[in-house]
A and B are shown apart, each in its own frame.
Chain A
Amino acid sequence: MLQTLESQDAVAAASTWRNQYLQGFRYMLLARLMDDKMSSLYRTGKIQGGVFLGRGQEALSVAIGISLKKGDVFAPLIRDGAGRLAFGEPLLDAVRTFLGSPLGPMRARDGNVHRGNPRQGHLAMISHLGAMISVVNGTLMAKRFKMLSGHVGVASVGDGATSTGSFHEGINQAAVEKLPLVLVVANNQYAYSTPNEREFACANLADKAVGYGVAPHEVDGTDLEACLQTVGHAVALARQGEGPQLVVAQLLRLCGHGEHDDAHYVDPRLKSAPLGRDCLQVAEEQLWQRGWADRETTSRLRQELAQLLEETVARVQRDPAPDPYRENWRALASAHLAEQFESYTVAEAM
């Protein structure tokens, strides 16, 4: 009897694991297709401002989204398209923000990767690196004040952000307050064009955890299975009350900093190293090898998601453009405290 129960558990666990993996792959693929589409729209001049992609970082990012639950908090960074979708961001919101639609969550006031729904736990990043860590800490402190337990927060940063004062203050604050923070560092080897050796001098970024009294975790960021396991484990520990966790993933950014950047500075040896593997391709091959999906199935999924994306983009392209004459030019929530500066600021065109 006992043996049967155990084996049933094992079957259930295997099934959950398989579902997580398939779900992760699906969001990775959708994020990659979205990246490809945004890149082509950018190159044809259909997108204002910059386009920043997550190519090569989807496995790590999606593992965050998959590991989180409703009520958790996620502060994604620029290469977290996959994680955002897995955390529940509607594809429509993402596309609307990239295309500057006034119907998107940022209403064309902010664009591309600067999007979120803070009240739903999806924080909208500012550009200053490391700055979101303490904001996540604050949401977790608030949940503690409200006696809400079992929630975690993830802040996603890159190798470059580990050099900021905000990173130091944020991780230390989380440790002092023993918050359920999981700080995920995607070491994609370059902060814009600056390589690791000009960014920090420690042998391994995970070594920093000890100095803060935080638990370290390391993972191969090109391997979806490893990412799901490691990030999932770190999230589970934080959820159980084990305090802040630092996850450092090694991977390579398979694109420029933004689409304006050809990334000519990336060392070709890194591209041909295991670090330079395409995590999406690795995940797809793993699916085939395990027999969880065949080539036809993943090919069909790719077509379905591409179709969904085309339809979403077409829909957003029919959205109205933001109208400066109808815009509410007020930065304060308190309307009665907002000053009127009409006579001092730019006059409306006649």
Chain B
Amino acid sequence: MSITYLEAIREAQARALREDPRVFIYGQDVGAFGGAFKATKNLAREFPGRVLDSPISEDAIVGAAIGAAIEGMRPIVEMQFADFSTPAITQIVNQAATLYWRSQVPCPITIRLPSGGTSGGGPFHSQSLEAVYAHFPGLIVMTPATAEDAYSMLLEAVAIEDPVIFCEHKLLYNHCKTDELPVDAMPVGKARIARAGRDLTIVSYSAMTQDSLAAAEELKGEGVEIEVVDLRSIKPLDTDTVMASVARTGRLLCVGEAWPWGGVTAEVIARVATEGFDLLDAPPQRLNSKDTPIPFHPSLWTAHRPTVRSIAAAARNLLRM
């Protein structure tokens, strides 16, 4: 039996609903319809009254989740697309993220953001907003790259006392699979060595981890051993694991699907340059999407974001430095 990333998300929510009476799901079309991507398929039937369709009111959806959390509930919010979380940004960054600091009352809400590009998605159904949310104190930002992590990290997100932005990548929904759901999992905040190597470290997260692994496989044929670090969560960001990897390889390439200005790749490089400058044998490099809105047409879209080919090319370039 194989379980997809999407099914893992559904199963994690089913388990959370089953095991914790404080959990409920709130979002657009999540009820009988089962969600735009079917991440809540059949959950409304299995858990009557606990999987609620919302109006198209992202601000009020998150506001209500915060209110429910204050009263002791554990809401899971599904944004239909990460792109549509921007109308809720006040509630997320000013209300949810400040509540504990201001009042010492925790805000255990999980906001699921179907993130990242898909072919034909265009400017408003493709965004990767993890860096926007990671910028604000008071939020945890998870970016699972595997079906196992999608499952275990979502369960952990619901259990955590703080607001969690759960960035699930739409490209991984059906393409990424596992044979079985994990029983034990690495805790959130720990990065994973997705592939061991000695010549160069690629640090990535979410779908780009899979592309980085494919690039590493391609370079293996050229006699190069690439180490791939999957950050898993970008906030907290496991600097120790990154630094240990760079200590082994001396070369760092950061790959992210988000835009280049600021963001996760810049953050990782800043940390390594600040704390581990002497570990580097070459200038650290990064690869991001182009600094434009995300294009609609597949031929433009594949040129807009990092691919296996462009990651491999960037790695080869760094190895020559």
Contact = CB atoms under 8 A, between A and B. Distances in A.
Interface of A: 73, 105-107, 109-110, 114, 116-119, 123-124, 126-128, 131-143, 145-146, 165-166, 169-170, 172-173, 176, 331-334, 336-339, 343-344
B102 A138 contact: no
Given A336-B189, A337-B160, A337-B189, A331 B137 contact: yes
A213 to B, nearest CB: 12
Interface in B91-117: 91, 94-95, 97-107
B67 interface: yes
Interface string B186-201: 0011000000000000
Interface stretch (B56-64, B208-216, B242-250, B255-263): B56-64
B161 A334 contact: yes
B235 interface: yes
Nearest to A344: B274
Contact of A128 (B75, B90, B237): B90
A145 B55 CA distance: 19
- Taking each of A73, A143, A165, A331, which has the highest tally of chain B beta carbons within 10 Å of its own beta carbon? A331
Given A141-B64, A333-B161, A339-B235, A126 B95 contact: yes
B87 interface: yes
Contacts of B36: none
A161 to B, nearest CB: 13
Contacts of A138: 63-71, 75
29 contacts: A110-B102, A118-B99, A119-B105, A123-B67, A124-B103, A126-B95, A127-B94, A131-B63, A132-B63, A134-B57, A135-B67, A137-B64, A137-B67, A138-B63, A138-B64, A138-B65, A138-B66, A138-B75, A139-B67, A142-B72, A170-B63, A173-B54, A176-B55, A331-B98, A333-B106, A334-B162, A337-B189, A339-B235, A344-B274
Interface residues of B, number: 51
B236 A109 contact: no
A135 B235 contact: no
Nearest to A110: B102
Interface string B270-284: 000011000000000
A119 B63 contact: no
Given A114-B102, A139-B67, A172-B55, 14 more contacts: A109-B101, A117-B103, A118-B70, A126-B94, A128-B90, A134-B59, A139-B68, A142-B72, A145-B68, A165-B87, A332-B161, A337-B160, A338-B236, A344-B274
A338 B137 CA distance: 10
Nearest to B189: A337
Given A106-B102, A126-B94, A338-B236, A135 B63 contact: yes
A166 B62 CA distance: 11
Contacts of B58: 169
A134 B91 contact: yes
B34 interface: no
A145 B49 CA distance: 9
B82 interface: no
Contacts of B5: none
Interface in B132-150: 137-138, 140
Nearest to A330: B101
Given A134-B63, A141-B64, A118 B103 contact: yes
B63 A334 contact: no
B80 to A, nearest CB: 15
- Taking each of A139, A170, A337, which has the highest tally of chain B beta carbons within 10 Å of its own beta carbon? A337
A135 B237 contact: no
B151 interface: no
Nearest to A128: B90
Nearest to B23: A145
A131 B67 contact: no
B24 interface: yes
Nearest to A130: B59
- Which 3 residue pairs across A and B have the least CB separation, nearest first? A138-B67, A134-B63, A142-B71
Given A334-B161, A337-B140, A337-B162, A134 B64 contact: yes
Given A105-B103, A126-B98, A337 B64 contact: no
- Taking each of A119, A172, A334, which has the highest tally of chain B beta carbons within 10 Å of its own beta carbon? A334
B70 A135 contact: yes
Given A106-B103, A119-B105, A343-B274, A139 B138 contact: no
A127 B94 CA distance: 9
A343 B90 CA distance: 29
Contacts of A110: 102
Interface in B147-171: 160-162
Contacts of B75: 138
B236 A337 contact: yes
A118 B237 CA distance: 31
